[in-house]
Amino acid sequence: MARTLTLAAIQFSPSDDVQDNITRVAGFIREAAAKGADVILPPELFCGHYFCKTQEEEHFARAMEWQDHPAVRQYSELAAELGVVIPVSIYEKDGPLYFNSIVIIDADGALLGVYRKSHIPDGPGYQEKFYFRPGDTGFRTWSTLKGRIGVGICWDQWFPEAARAMALMGADALLYPTAIGAEPQDAGLDTAARWRRAMQGHAVSNVIPVVAANRVGDEGGQVFYGTSFITDETGEIVGDLGRQEEGVLVASFDLDKIDQARAAWGFFRDRRTDLYEILI
């Protein structure tokens, strides 16, 4: 029997009300499941506005322990009901430590664990180093009931090292929840095209499908550009969304066919690990 994996991205415009967001994203999860999705990815930190625009002490109160987060608890039940895998992006508190994290919920509702964003950006409009300790979990892949997935978080998506690491760990697909849009220091700077190119490159170099789920909407002057997409294992975009619409993207992949193509391409056969010391 062919191993098929159906991936979905949710593009979403959050309010700043946690339960409202959880409820509305649940609607999109149901829509994606109805379209046959096995793994359904909401955007980064979808439970509220993107608070990292400025440095405000009060925003630390948004963080919670990952097992207790209402999105995790509610989506655990939803995942079991629908039989789908849901990577849930949250602001995580672990004692005095704060992380930008993803909790992986398996298709039976089991909580498989947490990955903490490894690469933390910092720039005008994206003050993440104030809020998040660089992740201490290392890159992870998750053997779900539907397939083995690797999930990076936003800034991770620009780093070929993260994609390669997850591919080396056996990922069948790479997923990136995201919050990206306008650059306040330069109104003319639109990074959408290069954002796609970076991840299309990961798809090619690792012969692996890639999913990117971004937010949309204007959050107090900061506009997020959507353009969520799914690529196949050649980096070709097989589905995408616009810059303003909310919605769901779904695409199916034959994992056995991709495994065979990955082997025949020989990238993993021919890597020169003896020459890569400079990378670390």
The residue ranges that bind its own copies (CB under 8 A) are 118-123, 134, 138-139, 155, 158-161, 163-165, 168-169, 193-194, 197-205, 234-236, 264, 266-267, 270-273, 275-280
Q: CA-CA distance, 137 to 170, in Å (whole number)?
A: 17
Which secondary-structure segment (H or E) carries 21?
Answer: helix 18-34
185 secondary structure, DSSP code: T
Distance of closest approach, residue 246 Cβ to its own copies, in angstroms: 27
Distance of closest approach, residue 139 Cβ to its own copies, in angstroms: 6
Q: Which one-letter amino acid corresponds to residue 91?
A: Y
Distance of closest approach, residue 115 Cβ to its own copies, in angstroms: 11
Closest to its own copies by CB, 107 or 168: 168
Active-site residue flag, 52: no
Closest to its own copies by CB, 58 or 277: 277
Q: CA-CA distance, 234 to 207, in Å (whole number)?
A: 6
Closest to its own copies by CB, 36 or 138: 138
Active-site residue flag, 154: yes
Query: Following DSSP, what letter does each residue of 83-141 receive, concatenated?
Result: T-BEEEEEEEEETTEEEEEEEEE-TTS-EEEEEE-S----BTTB-HHHH-PPPSS---E
Distance of closest approach, residue 180 Cβ to its own copies, in angstroms: 13
Active-site residue flag, 44: yes
Which secondary-structure segment (H or E) carries 175?
Answer: strand 173-177
Distance of closest approach, residue 57 Cβ to its own copies, in angstroms: 24
Closest to its own copies by CB, 167 or 173: 167
Q: Is residue 40 a contact partner of residue 33, using CB atoms and an 8 Å limit? A: yes
Which of the following is catalytic: 154, 219, 233, 246?
154
**What is the total residue count of the chain?**
280
Q: Is residue 84 a contact partner of residue 41, using CB atoms and an 8 Å limit? A: no
Closest to its own copies by CB, 81 or 161: 161
Which of the following is catalytic: 47, 93, 117, 233?
117
Q: What residues act catalytically?
A: 44, 117, 154
